[in-house]
Structures are given as structure tokens and as C-alpha cells.
Amino acid sequence: MIKMPEWQRCLDAQFGSPKPGQYRAQPEDFWVDEQLDFTPEAHGEHLWLRVEKRNQTTLDVVKTLSRLCGVTPRDIGYSGMKDRIAVTRQWLSVHLPGRDAPPELEQSLNALGITVVEQARHPRKLKRGVHRTNRFVLRLSGEAIEGEDFVGRWEALCQHGVPNYFGPQRFGPEGRNLQRAEAILNRGWRKRDDRQGMMLSTARSFLFNELLSARIADGTWSQPLAGDTLMLDGTQSVFRIDVTDATLQTRAAELDVHPTGALWGVGEAGQGDAAGYEARLLEHYPGLCSGLERSGVKQARRSLRMRLLEPQLTWESGAVRLSFALPRGSFATAVLGELMLAN
């Protein structure tokens, strides 16, 4: 059985143990605002609600809206999952063809700690992954910020980018989600055992983190290798290279392109120098790799590096406030993890 967090142990061996730090003393210490790059059209069968919540998951809000609006959870759309212990803002959609929302909806939501910030109609359901970025404002305190090297670590992340790890919340307490995923894949993945596809996502995330850790250990996580698939910064556009050259190295140094790793599934194998890292995953975790392929999930690519967008650092009494945006699917906890690593 795979035990977590193997990829974190790899990081510890490379950089040392994490320094103590606190960043969720209260929900207001972890603020997230989901950013779309379009606005609802003000007409249509779906009511879109931009809500602010505390101490609740996105699925908690879905269940509440389902009950209050008299619809099934399938009639409710959302783009991304947001943290529980945080103050988060995000859009959700409710399918209400030919009728208005219950008149007491906002009041009922307020009583449950959910505030409707704005609302509008739209012709289509909100789909997963359509938001562009998440804006974070985080308060960090403790020993992690006290060393003279803290500002230097922050500036290095701003200049060179951040390893694009999936955060520990993807794997559940003590990695139990990964153990569940391994069990499901070993006996053959079935939709009825994994309605939301979270176990597939957990297994793919673990394999990606392992690949990223290996490339960090080899010093190749931010530089193109022969056979790499590169991603254009700020997009999901990818292209494969046969060889690397000075131009590509310069573009990578300027954060214009990023090497990617496989989100494991059915698809074309890697090539060249980059292929060795995927072959190592297959060698070390054959059960996860073959189980994902048998499930039929299609291979995708994820950038090994993320750029901090509009980063700002502000000192407060005994703490530091960090503000930045990240592309969808990237984890603020990965940023904090880099800042809290000891030398």
C-alpha cells in the first residue's frame, strides 16, 4: 500500500524540514476570490449567484442551494472547489427554468453564513474549470517568517516561479484519499464507486507530484528537456519539442513557457530525456498507472511551474500578509510550503 506523503519526504530530503508557521488561525487568514474572465449575460434559465462563505466547502453550499431551491445537486453548477477553513468567494449556478428563486433565498443563506454578493441570469450552467484565476490574500505568522532569508525566498518565487504541486488537501487527512484511490483502481474503477471522479484525480495528482519531485531533485523542473511538452504561460496551450535550444531556455527563464508533467491516463507516452521520468512512475507505481489507463481517463498535461500573478507582501504586527493570484488548479498551500521550508 502506498503511504503518504512520499513526495513530501522527497522535498524534505532536498530542502530540509518545514519551519513552524500558522496560516489558518481563523477563516479570515485565508481569503480566496474566484475570478472569471466573462460576466453572465443577464438572461436565461440559470440563476448565477456569486457567494461568500466561511467554514463551508463548495459541496456544502451545493447541498444548501439544492434544498432551498427545490432542485437536485445535478442542477447546480460550480467552477472550482474552495477550502472550508477560509473566506471564499465563487460563482454557482442553479437551473431555474421559468421561475424565480424563492423570495427568502438570500435571507436563508445569510442565516447559514453564506452571503450573496451578486446574482444574474445566464443561458448555460456553470461548468467545472471555466474560471481563469483565484486571487488569494493570506496571513502567515510564526518562525517561518522570522528568518532573514524569508523575503529572499519570497522574491525568488516571484522571479522564478513556484513548483506546481497539488496541495495536501487533495489527498485527505493522512493521505487516506490516496489509499482509497489505490483500492478502487486495484479492483477496477467504476463510476458508481467514484461519482465525482475524485479518486481518479487523487491518483493522478500523486503521480504528478512524484514526477515533479524527481525533476526538482535533478534540477530540471523549470528548464525544458528534449522531448518535453511545454505549456505557454497563462494558457492551456501545449507543444512538444524534440530538442531544446537557447531560445527555449530563455523563454523558460522569463516564465513564458513551462515544462509539463503527465496527468496519467490513456495517451501518447513521453519522448526523449523527459520520457525517463514517466517511465520511472510506471516502474515504481504500476498499479496506479495501469489502473488509471484501464479506467479510460485521458492523459492531460499540467505545468510543473506556476507564476505568481500581481504578488504583494505587506508586513503586519507579528505576521506577513501575502497577496497574489494563481491559475485555476494551482494551490496556494504549495506557495506557503515553499516559504516555510527550512534551509
- Looking at the annotation, which residues are catalytic? 83
Residues constituting the chain: 343
Cell of 276: 525517463
Collapsed DSSP state (helix, strand, coil) of residue 304: coil
First to last CA, the chain: 31
- How many C-beta atoms lie closer than 10 Å to residue 5's C-beta? 16
Cell digits of residue 192: 458508481
Decide: 34 and 90 in contact? Cβ < 8 Å.
yes
Return d(Cα 81, Cα 329) in angstroms, integer: 9
Which of 48, 70, 51 lies closest to 109, judged by CA? Answer: 51
3-state secondary structure of 30: strand
Give me the amino acid identity at 332: A
**3-state DSSP of 152-186:** HHHHHHHHHCEECCCCHHHHCHHHHHHHHHHHHHH
Q: What number of CA atoms fall less than 13 Å from residue 24's CA on the CB side? A: 11
CB 11 within 8 A of CB 92: no
DSSP labels, 181-242: HHHHHHH---GGG-TT-HHHHHHHHHHHHHHHHHHHHHT-TTS--TTPEEEETTS--EEE-S
- Residue with the three cell numbers 484511490: 181
CA distance 303 to 128: 19
Give residue 268's identity as a one-letter amino acid code.
Answer: E
Grid-cell match 497574489, residue found: 324
